């Protein structure tokens, strides 16, 4: 397994992982019609835009032995300014279900922390659906719950978001 910085040519493969992970991770959390309407094409457009940005945000991908992208993380400086103790943010982290528990998520996380540290950013925040099993992953990495309730509306359903944060890494 290898972790490397993403390139613009990776957008379609990142999009596939993104959609596939949403469909497995959020299956019993988000309305089914929302997950059914996801498309690789729309997410490819999103990742083309994300990978073209120059705002200090980076994307790293994890590849299997065949060179296929099986996970990714994106993040950089925290943009909202609403959480001053946290200078960085993780905007997305996904690993295909069949590759869970192999250390890829932690490896991606550590690579992004190195990037943030190189920018003299020593804290980060991540927003996650409260019902997402990944909450345990963040806690295992030493995050603490920062915000316990932030409702968002998706597909006619109110969902609770929470934020986890890390400081002094």
Residue 168 reports pLDDT greater than 90: no
What is the C-alpha separation between 165 and 4, in angstroms, rounded? 24
Domains with residue ranges and CATH for the chain: 2-121 (3.40.630.30)
C-alpha to C-alpha distances, 107 to 63, 76, 94, 114, 117, nearest whole angstrom: 12, 16, 12, 11, 15
End-to-end CA distance of the chain, in Å? 25
Contacts for 133 with CB less than 8 Å, ≥ 6 apart? 25
Contact 60, 111 (CB under 8 A): yes
Contacts for 18 with CB less than 8 Å, ≥ 6 apart? 43, 47, 72, 92, 94
111-160 per-position pLDDT tens digit = 999 999 999 999 999 999 999 999 999 999 999 999 887 778 888 888 89
The mean pLDDT of 21-35, rounded to a whole number, is 93
C-alpha angle 37/42/43, rounded to 5°?
100
Contact 96, 21 (CB under 8 A): yes
The pTM for the full model equals: 0.92
């Amino acid at each position: 397994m290898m972790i490397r910085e993403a390139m613009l040519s990776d957008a379609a493969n990142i999009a596939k992982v993104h959609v596939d992970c949403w469909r497995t991770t959020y299956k019993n959390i988000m309305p089914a019609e929302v997950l059914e309407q996801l498309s690789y094409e729309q997410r490819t457009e999103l990742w083309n835009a994300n990978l073209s940005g120059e705002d200090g945000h980076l994307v790293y991908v994890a590849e299997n032995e065949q060179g296929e992208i099986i996970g990714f993380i994106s993040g950089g400086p925290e943009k909202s300014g609403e959480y001053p103790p946290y200078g960085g943010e993780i905007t997305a982290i996904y690993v295909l279900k069949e590759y869970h528990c192999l250390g890829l998520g932690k490896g991606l996380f550590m690579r992004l922390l190195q990037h943030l540290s190189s920018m003299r950013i020593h804290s980060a925040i991540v927003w996650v659906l409260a019902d997402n099993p990944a909450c345990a992953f963040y806690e295992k990495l030493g995050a603490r719950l920062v915000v316990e309730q932030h409702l968002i509306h998706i597909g006619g359903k109110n969902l609770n978001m929470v934020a986890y944060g890390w400081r002094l890494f």
